[in-house]
């Protein structure tokens, strides 16, 4: 449960740590083995991931323009309503696959994926 005490919102992180569907078997993977992947079509920029991640992987910011233009019209509209804000992963290489973000996201927008081999 130590990870749950390191996030920006320890209370929320603690609740996520106790979630029965947290992908705990991946807990404490070496940094860089898994990456959080955000489905921008689901993300509503609510920043729960920012609050619970013990390794400061996320920030909420403007979606990349090219990525935005490539989305279907309905998803573009949804993002536009949210100021084109989405979860970004500028420090994805620090992820240790603790799974807190996966269960904390209210939109089920995050999955952990094995990092591509170098
Ligand atoms: S990925 Fe989920 S928790 Fe993170 S900002 Fe988007 S909706 Fe919020
Ligand atoms: S799984 Fe990775 S990105 Fe998600 S909260 Fe844990 S360390 Fe952060």
Q: Give the torsion through C-alpha atoms of 103, 104, 105, 108, to 10 deg.
A: 20
Mean pLDDT of the chain: 91
pLDDT of residue 4: 66
The CA angle 115-5-42, to the nearest 5 degrees, is 50
- Whether the pLDDT of residue 118 is over 70: the answer is no
pLDDT of residue 108: 96
- Whether the pLDDT of residue 3 is over 90: the answer is no
**Band of pLDDT at residue 53, cut at 50, 70 and 90:** very high
Q: Which residues pair with 35 in a beta bridge?
A: 113
- For 68-114, write each residue's pLDDT tens digit: 999 999 999 999 998 999 999 999 999 999 999 999 999 999 999 99
Q: Which domain holds residue 32?
A: 2-114
Q: Kindly report the backbone phi and psi dihedral angles of residue 34, in degrees, each rounded to the nearest multiple of 5, phi listed first.
A: -125, 155
**Band of pLDDT at residue 31, cut at 50, 70 and 90:** confident
Which-ligand-closest: CA of 110? 1
Report the residue among 13, 39, 44, 90 best suited for mutation to probe ligand 1: largest number of ligand atoms under 8 A from its CB: 44
- Whether the pLDDT of residue 25 is over 60: the answer is no
**Band of pLDDT at residue 1, cut at 50, 70 and 90:** low
Residues 26, 8: Cα–Cα separation, whole Å: 21
- CB of 41 shorter than 6 A to ligand 1: no
Please identify, by atom number, the ligand 1 atom nearest to the C-alpha of residue 87: 5
Q: How many domains does one find in the chain? A: 1
Q: What is the CATH number of the domain that holds 102?
A: 3.30.70.20
**How far is C-alpha 97 from the chain's CA centre?**
11
Report the residue among 98, 103, 112, 115 best suited for mutation to probe ligand 2: largest number of ligand atoms under 8 A from its CB: 98
Residues 58, 62: Cα–Cα separation, whole Å: 13
- CB of 47 shorter than 6 A to ligand 1: yes
Beta-strand (E) ranges in the chain?
Answer: 34-38, 59-62, 85-88, 110-114
pLDDT of residue 6: 76
- Whether the pLDDT of residue 26 is over 70: the answer is no
Q: How many CB atoms lie within 10 A of CB 25?
A: 8
């Amino acid at each position: 449960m130590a990870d749950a005490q390191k996030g920006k919102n320890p209370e929320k992180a603690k609740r996520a740590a106790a979630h029965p569907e947290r992908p705990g078997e991946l807990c404490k993977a070496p940094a860089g083995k898994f990456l959080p992947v955000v489905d921008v079509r689901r993300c509503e920029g609510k920043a729960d991931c920012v609050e619970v991640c013990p390794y400061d992987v996320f920030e909420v910011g403007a979606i990349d323009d090219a990525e935005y233009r490539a989305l279907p019209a309905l998803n573009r509209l949804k993002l536009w309503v949210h100021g084109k804000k989405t979860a970004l992963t500028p420090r994805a290489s620090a992820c240790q696959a603790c799974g807190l973000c996966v269960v904390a996201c209210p939109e089920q927008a995050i999955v952990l994926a094995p990092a591509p081999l170098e």
